[in-house]
Amino acid sequence: MSSVTRREVGVISSVRGKGALAEVLKWGLLLLACGLLLAQGASAQGAAGSDAAGGAETPPFQMPTPEEAVTQIMTGLNERLTLSDEQKSEIRPTVVDMVAKIQKLRERFEAGELKPMALGMQLQMTEKKASALIDPVLDEKQRAEYAALRQEQRRRMMQEMQKRAASGQPPGF
């Protein structure tokens, strides 16, 4: 088991209580989005949200609908990788399938069928399978950028989870 995987497992297993679902799903969604909800896309959404609220604080994170998640992921991929129309049409079914699997895992977790650790592992496997299908569609330059994107997102998510766990803050968005 790699040190990154051990760290991820350790953080996931440290999440306890009612906030576990929110924290694990946040981690999973961001990991499974493969870093595709980039700062650039998030900044644009955040700016639109704060403008609409007259500069008020950003509302708490809400899980996107499956359609919204697919759109966000595809937009993030296109912004970062500059996908051709053919690549978009080849990648979209993988993203749709990945989002559907995330939804099923979420439902199983909420029903008590999966513990946080098991959910995290299932989410990680789903992300790896999706990445294995997306990688061959990309050219060499895009593939390198995609790998960097996934690594950046994992690092940010782990830092956020560790920061919250260390400070005793409840999981939040």
What is the C-alpha to C-alpha distance for residues 13 and 89, in angstroms, rounded to an integer? 37
Global confidence as pTM: 0.64
What is the C-alpha to C-alpha distance for residues 9 and 63, in angstroms, rounded to an integer? 23
Q: Are 116 and 20 in contact (CB under 8 A)?
A: yes
**Long-range CB contacts for residues 141-146, cutoff 8 Å, separation at least 24:** 142/81, 142/82, 142/83, 145/80, 145/81, 146/34, 146/77, 146/80, 146/81
pLDDT tens track for 45-78: 444 444 444 445 545 557 788 999 999 999 999 9
At residue 165, the pLDDT reads 74
| Closest residue by Cα to residue 97 from 66, 63, 65 | 66
At residue 25, the pLDDT reads 54
* pLDDT band at residue 21 under the 50/70/90 scheme: low
Q: Are 11 and 161 in contact (CB under 8 A)?
A: yes
pLDDT tens track for 74-118: 999 999 999 999 999 999 999 999 999 999 998 998 899 988 888
What tokens does 52 get? 């609409």
Domain ranges of the chain: 3-57+64-167
